[in-house]
Chain A
Amino acid sequence: MRNFRTYGEVPATPSHPVLAQVGDQRARLGQRLAKIHHIVPVVSGKGGVGKSAVSANLAAALALRGFRVGAVDGDLNGPSLAAMLGVSPEPLQVTDDGVVPAVGAADVRLVATDLLLEAADTPLRWRGPPGDEFLWRGALEAGTLREFLSDVVWGDLDFLVVDLPPGTDRIQRFLEFVPDPAAVLLVTTPSRAAARVVARAEALLSSGTRFGTVMNMAAGSCPHCGGTLPLFDAPADPGRDPHTIDFWGEIPFDHRLAHATDAGRPIVLDPDASRAATALWALTDRVLTECEF
């Protein structure tokens, strides 16, 4: 029987050391992330639960607390973080050290695909031979996220908030780049469907990962009497022991949050504006506590 070597045992030739290049990519990523003290991905297995609004406000609130904060819009195909942080597309400066991030509300440093595309309604498309795109699109998306982390001049950061797209596979992909995040925020809404998907996301995280759940759209306020109005009747998950869920916060539904988000001004900049702002500040303080500040 022939004794084959593994690919890793084959000496790389000087002309195309593919394996060495992949190693260089990881080394570059490691060097960049070494200057970032706390990486906080904001995730959910389900779309439409408010991850981006939570991300934008968390990043702004941390910056207002005096920390150096960056934000990555990891939702490459549906970016919204730049708009929520009031960033208009301007040419990104390129230095020998990398691409200089844009600066948004509260001086949050930001990179996102919508800063690169022709117009706000331009979809993200990739160059490549026609057909078979399903084979390589995932690799390009992962590579772009890697470059957002490794090729941007983040400098010394206290926090990097990463808004990830819906889908548990995206969480796995991110954890390959950042296996030990400081804390993971799982955003959900009080519906069974959202809670079950979040449970799947929880199952992906290793036992040593610090994570907490944020219940967004927890309830609304009656515009007449100010009373609390539950938006959803369904319990979080009837088959789940609620005591096993580590809730880090509840954010009430508030139209002012939506307006602030659309205006590119995180609502935490006006802390007295609403119960949503108060809740987001409380969430920020909880994240700080979890990160041992």
Chain B
Amino acid sequence: MRFEERQLPGDGTMGVVFACPQCGGEVAMLTNPMETQVVSSLGVKIGGTTLPDQPMELTRTFVADGRDDAFADAMRPRSVHWSEDATNRLGQVPAFVRGMVKRIYADYAQEHGISEITPAVMNRARSDLGLEGM
């Protein structure tokens, strides 16, 4: 079976779609939130994410109540422009990991020659990088 898609519909559930490479028939797998959390707690990426690990990514992703400025890359200036809608959407990301998420989108935009990050660009990046949860 070939990996097709990963989705995080909410409440910690993860949906993964696999397809038969010959007939195209698809099978969907839903994991329950606890199982997803247990595997994620190992610090591994599941379901198509190919982005390299960020430093202390596990800690930064899972620690609640972290300081907004605990990591200085949250304030690292980037040359990519953020549209107002994209900025608002980024504001919905938990503060502790917002800097890391911002950097991921900025890196994606720079690597693809994109000068402005919009919600559409964020959607594309999420799909390409397997970041549906961000």
Residues of A near any B CB (own CB < 8 A): 13, 15-16, 18, 21-22, 24-25, 28, 89, 91-95, 97-99, 113, 115-118, 122-129, 131-132, 135-136, 139-140, 143-144, 146-148, 151-152
Chain A contacts of B12 at CB under 8 A? 128-129
Contact call B62/A151, Cβ cutoff below 8 A = no
B99 to chain A, nearest CB (A): 8
Q: Mark B82-114, 1 if CB is under 8 A from A, else 0.
A: 000000000000101000000000000000000
| Contact status B61-A127, CB under 8 Å | yes
* Residues A118 and B63 in contact, CB atoms below 8 Å apart: no
Q: Is B20 close to A, CB under 8 A?
A: no
Chain B minimum-CB-distance residue to A15: B3
CA distance A113 to B63 in the complex (A): 9
Give the secondary structure class of A's interface: mixed
12 contacts between A and B (CB under 8 A): A15-B47, A21-B45, A92-B72, A116-B96, A117-B70, A125-B65, A126-B64, A127-B61, A128-B41, A128-B62, A132-B34, A136-B34
Contact assessment for A98 and B55 in the assembled complex, using a CB-CB cutoff below 8 Å:
yes
Q: Does B9 contact A (CB under 8 A)?
A: no
Q: A-contacting residues of B (Cβ < 8 Å)?
A: 3, 11-12, 33-34, 37-39, 41-49, 53-59, 61-67, 69-76, 94, 96
Chain B residues with CB under 8 Å of A146's CB are 43
Contact B42 A127 (CB under 8 A): no
Measured between beta carbons, the chain A residues less than 8 angstroms from B11 are: 129
CA distance A113 to B34 in the complex (A): 25
Q: Which chain B residue shows the least CB distance to A93?
A: B72
Question: Residue of A at shortest CB range from B46?
Answer: A16
Of the residues B58, B69, B73, contact of A143 by C-beta under 8 Å = B58
Q: Which residues of B contact A113 (CB under 8 A)?
A: 63
Complex Cα gap A23–B30 (Å): 26
Task: For the complex, give the distance between the alpha carbons of A140 and B74 in Å.
Answer: 23
Contacts known (A25-B43, A93-B72, A99-B71); A128 close to B65, Cβ less than 8 A: no
B46 and A116 within 8 A (CB): no
Q: Which of A21, A122, A127, A144 contacts B94 (CB 8 A)?
A: A127
Known A18-B46, A98-B55, A113-B63; further 11 A-B contacts with Cβ < 8 A:
A21-B45, A89-B70, A91-B72, A92-B71, A117-B65, A125-B63, A126-B62, A126-B64, A127-B62, A129-B34, A139-B38
B59 near A116 with CB under 8 A, answer yes
Q: Are A151 and B55 in contact (CB-based, < 8 A)?
A: yes
Given contacts A22-B44, A143-B43, A147-B56, contact A129 B70 (CB under 8 A): no
Q: Chain B residues near A122: list those with CB within 8 A.
A: 65
A128 to chain B, nearest CB (A): 5
Q: Which residues of B contact A147 (CB under 8 A)?
A: 43, 55-59
- CB–CB B55/A16 < 8 A: no
* Residues on the A chain within 8 Å of B46, using CB: 16, 18
